[in-house]
């Protein structure tokens, strides 16, 4: 790595400033906002990404419509893809942030802000890693293309459009997970259970299917009974002027056991005091606080990727309808129908209908694949961690969108997972270390 150290060191501050520029753009989904499919801010983030890349002397292209963009360097028929996204999840309750989510802040060696870890920060680390190679005079025998998507946190519509219109990389990676390397990702199934509202109190809870809700504000009737039951159950809450805020702990839906689901807590308490909402009864009686939903599915797991996980992400009850949003991560060797059938049956017992919201099939790349072997070797050599082994995860990354693609960093073993949480941050020294790894990895992949 000594041959690139000078260039990498010089680029650390410019990279950090580029991340800050992107974090200042609140690029969460606003359907059709200002004439753009995912909202004006997502468009602005994609435009900013290609502007940064162009300043670094990459060839760039942006569709201008808010779906996707790319930046490329090098020559040759084959192409290495570095795939990531410029959209983010909503910030949630501003009161839970020490500093505003879209005002990047440095404290104690950490860079705070929505998107610092997922995925604006890592994409800039990889982009500037390639710039280090460019500044060192490296000849790229394969092209390196950065692909920026605009809808990763929801339906992948930006990537779908890219795949329909553009060249597919020969192989590649996404810097949107963990080191040393992710070779398997569970299936992701998101569904809505729904029914007409027949007298249930209205509520609008949760921010995204793929986030464990850290709070749930109830403004309906019987609040004294609710707080008494919450006290009895030992569930934390705050009494507000206009309602009761049930407290949990936010987390990513791929690791729901790291959070505490506030919607589930509220539902359990409401069901206990007689709330007749079908969705409330389903949550309380069929799921409870079990992040594996074994009452519905029984034990479901495999040796490659572990157990099924089940997250209640959103609950909306209007005067007309109840809608419950669920995110499931399903073992890679399981079949979709093994989940859909039992869930439909369980929902029907509570008078709920089933609707598929999104489906992403699993990723599984052989440990013998040259891409996996190369990236794992680079990680081990750069870090000195000779015992590092490939991982299987519940998270869903862009790696599964393309053949011969895996997730590779930026989080190191034991580092905090702050994506989708309040006070999201990335440790700067670790991000600089990830730059070192990406520089060597891309160098080898282009040989």
**DSSP code for 167:** P
Q: What is d(CA 193, CA 277) in angstroms, rounded to the nearest whole number? A: 12
87 is catalytic: yes
**CA 167 to centroid of chain Cα atoms:** 25
Going by C-alpha positions, the residue among 420, 443, 437, 32 that lies closest to residue 207 is 420
Going by C-alpha positions, the residue among 329, 354, 334 that lies closest to residue 344 is 354
- Token pair of 312, please? 């209640």
The helix (H) or strand (E) run that includes residue 415 is: none
236 is catalytic: no
Q: What is d(CA 197, CA 220) in angstroms, rounded to the nearest whole number? A: 14
Q: What is d(CA 44, CA 26) in angstroms, rounded to the nearest whole number? A: 9
Quick one: residue 240, left, alpha or beta (phi over 0 = left, psi -120 to 50 = alpha)? Answer: beta
Helix orientation angle between 40-55 and 120-135, rounded to the nearest 10 degrees: 20
CB distance 78 to 446 below 8 Å: no
- Token pair of 371, please? 């891409």
> Three-state SS across 231-294?
HHHCCCEEECCCCEEEECECEECCCHHHCECHHHHHHHHHHHCCCCCHHHHHHHHHHCCCCCCH
Catalytic residue (one of 72, 152, 327, 424): 152
Helix (H), strand (E) counts: the chain:
11, 26
162, 318, 336, 347, 382 from 331: Cα distances, Å: 27, 34, 10, 22, 31
CB distance 175 to 434 below 8 Å: yes
Catalytic residue (one of 87, 119, 430, 436): 87
Going by C-alpha positions, the residue among 183, 175, 401 that lies closest to residue 304 is 183
The helix (H) or strand (E) run that includes residue 165 is: helix 157-165
**CA 74 to centroid of chain Cα atoms:** 30
| Cα atoms found within 13 Å of the Cα of residue 137, Cβ hemisphere only | 2
Beta strands in 308-401 (DSSP E): 309-317, 321-330, 353-360, 363-364, 391-393
Token look-up 């702990």 returns 249
**DSSP code for 88:** B
Which residues are known to be catalytic?
Answer: 87, 152
């Amino acid at each position: 790595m000594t041959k690139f150290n000078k260039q990498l060191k010089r680029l650390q501050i410019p990279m950090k400033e580029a991340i800050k520029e992107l974090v200042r753009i609140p690029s969460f989904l606003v359907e059709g906002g200002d004439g753009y499919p995912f909202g004006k801010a997502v468009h602005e983030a994609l435009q900013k990404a290609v502007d940064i890349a162009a300043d670094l002397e990459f060839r760039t292209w942006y569709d201008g419509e808010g779906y996707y963009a790319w930046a490329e360097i090098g020559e040759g028929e084959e192409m290495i893809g570095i795939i990531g996204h410029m959209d983010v999840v909503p910030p949630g309750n501003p009161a839970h942030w020490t500093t505003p989510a879209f005002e990047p802040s440095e404290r104690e060696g950490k860079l705070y802000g929505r998107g610092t870890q997922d995925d604006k920060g890592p994409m800039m680390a990889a982009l500037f890693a390639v710039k280090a190679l460019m500044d060192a005079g490296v000849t790229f025998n394969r092209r390196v293309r950065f692909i920026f998507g605009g809808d990763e946190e929801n339906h992948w519509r930006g990537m779908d459009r890219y795949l329909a219109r553009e060249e597919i990389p020969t192989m590649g990676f996404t810097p949107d997970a963990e080191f040393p390397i992710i070779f398997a990702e569970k299936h992701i199934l998101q569904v809505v259970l729904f029914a007409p509202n027949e007298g249930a109190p209205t509520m609008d809870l949760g921010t995204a299917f793929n986030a464990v809700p850290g709070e749930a504000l109830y403004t309906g009737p019987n609040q004294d009974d609710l707080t008494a039951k919450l006290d009895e159950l030992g569930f934390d809450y705050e009494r507000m002027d206009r309602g009761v805020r049930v407290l949990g702990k936010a987390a990513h839906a791929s690791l729901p056991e790291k959070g505490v689901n506030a919607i589930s807590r509220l539902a359990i308490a409401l069901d206990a005091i007689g709330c007749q909402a079908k969705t409330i009864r389903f949550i309380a009686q069929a799921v409870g606080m079990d992040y594996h939903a074994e009452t519905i599915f029984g034990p479901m797991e495999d040796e490659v990727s572990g157990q099924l996980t089940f997250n209640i992400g959103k609950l909306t009850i209007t005067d007309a309808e109840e809608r419950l949003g669920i995110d499931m991560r399903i073992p890679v060797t399981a079949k979709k129908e093994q989940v859909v059938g039992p869930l439909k049956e369980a929902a029907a017992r509570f008078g709920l209908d089933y609707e598929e919201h999104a489906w992403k099939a699993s990723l599984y790349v052989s440990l013998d694949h040259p891409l996996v072997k190369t990236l794992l070797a680079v990680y081990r050599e750069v870090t000195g961690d000779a015992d590092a082994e490939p991982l299987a995860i519940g998270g869903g990354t862009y790696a599964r969108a393309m053949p011969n693609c895996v997730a590779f960093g930026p989080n190191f073993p034991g580092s905090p997972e702050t994506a989708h949480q309040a006070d999201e941050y990335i440790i700067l020294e670790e991000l600089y270390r990830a730059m070192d790894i990406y520089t060597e990895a891309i160098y080898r992949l282009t040989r």
